[in-house]
Amino acid sequence: MAILSGDFTNRLAKNKMAMAGLFVVALLFIVAIFADIIAPYPYDMIDTSRILEAPSPAHWLGTDRLGRDVLSRMIHGAGVSLSVGFVAVGISTLIGVVLGALAGFYGGMVDRITMRFVDIMLCFPSFFLILAVIAFVGPSIWNIMVVIGVTSWMGVTRLVRAEFLTIRERDFVQAAISQGAGDFRIIFLHILPNAMAPVLVSATLGVAAAVLVESGLSFLGIGVQPPDPSWGNMLTEGKDNIEIAWWLSMFPGFAILITVMAYNLLGEGIRDSLDPRLKR
């Protein structure tokens, strides 16, 4: 597989922007995993004597309208945002890979029905579709993960289908068919491992998109619900006090910007490293 080749890793290591994105992503993982140790205060600890306190040595990023430490809430919010991103992308990738593999391998009626369903789903603006579903099922972190996942699989389906249409005609696949290998074995053991390169790129970029969607939903009040911290609902609190507490909007917004940029840089770096036209 191209993803596991030494040539791919060497190319990725030489891409400074991709390495910068990978460093930020790794740092976010460490922060999310060890949030309870790194955070200077419990994220829900209220201190009425320090309401809307500006950044200081005691509270590096200031406090909110309940006197809670902004840095601690941002650290715990990193875990929430990354969890939503990865679970949602995992769901969308699983659905997309299965449907794309079936459409690309069998073709014919299976392909036509699948791709017409993809076209129908693409007709709906995804964010408004998510808003409608969340309004119906109710806001919670698990509902957000599932809803984002089941409304964002169409791009993966198209990518996998295109790869299957190409790979299924190659000699090693035809040899497996001639030897009587079953469809399941051919799809998942012969073709799919060779079709995962664009899926990896799509999944990396999809995490950034899912983080943005979750932040937008939380900002609108139908995402992660207080007192659980999310960068999106922290922005909502900042909006209500932006004239007197700039830090409530600036730091969560900056965290979203850096996270999305890091995943986009890493995704673009992976895409460039897997592009055969760049080989010398």
Percent of the chain with pLDDT over 90: 42
Q: Which amino acid is at 196?
A: M
For residue 51, tell me if it sits in a domain: no
What pLDDT sits at residue 159?
92
For residue 65, tell me if it sits in a domain: no
Helix (H) / strand (E) containing 84: helix 70-106
**pLDDT surpasses 70 at 5:** no
Q: What is the DSSP letter of 41?
A: S
Contact 83, 145 (CB under 8 A): yes
Mean per-residue pLDDT, 121-137: 83
CATH of the domain at 201: 1.10.3720.10
Q: What is the DSSP letter of 107?
A: -
For residue 196, tell me if it sits in a domain: yes
* Predicted structure pTM score: 0.87
Can you tell me the distance from the alpha carbon of 278 to that of 242, in angstroms, rounded to the nearest whole number? Answer: 47
**pLDDT surpasses 60 at 213:** yes
Mean per-residue pLDDT, 19-45: 93
Can you tell me the distance from the alpha carbon of 64 to that of 58, in angstroms, rounded to the nearest whole number? Answer: 14
What pLDDT sits at residue 280?
43
What pLDDT sits at residue 277?
55
Q: Return phi, psi of residue 272, to 5°.
A: -65, -35
Q: String of b and e for 16-37 (b: at least 16 CB within 10 Å)?
A: eebeebbebbeebeebbeebee
For residue 44, tell me if it sits in a domain: no
Query: How many domains would you assign to the chain?
Result: 1
**pLDDT surpasses 90 at 81:** no
For residue 45, tell me if it sits in a domain: no
What pLDDT sits at residue 3?
53
What pLDDT sits at residue 272?
84
For residue 170, tell me if it sits in a domain: yes
Full domain range(s) for residue 104: 2-29+71-278
For residue 64, tell me if it sits in a domain: no
Helix (H) / strand (E) containing 13: helix 6-14
**Residue 223, burial from CB neighbour count under 10 angstroms (0-12, 13-18, 19+):** buried
Collect all residues with Cβ–Cβ distance below 8 Å to 132 and sequence separation of at least 6: none
Q: Higher confidence at residue 6 or residue 135? A: 135
For residue 116, tell me if it sits in a domain: yes
Can you tell me the distance from the alpha carbon of 38 to that of 60, in angstroms, rounded to the nearest whole number? Answer: 13
Mean per-residue pLDDT, 204-219: 89
What pLDDT sits at residue 274?
79
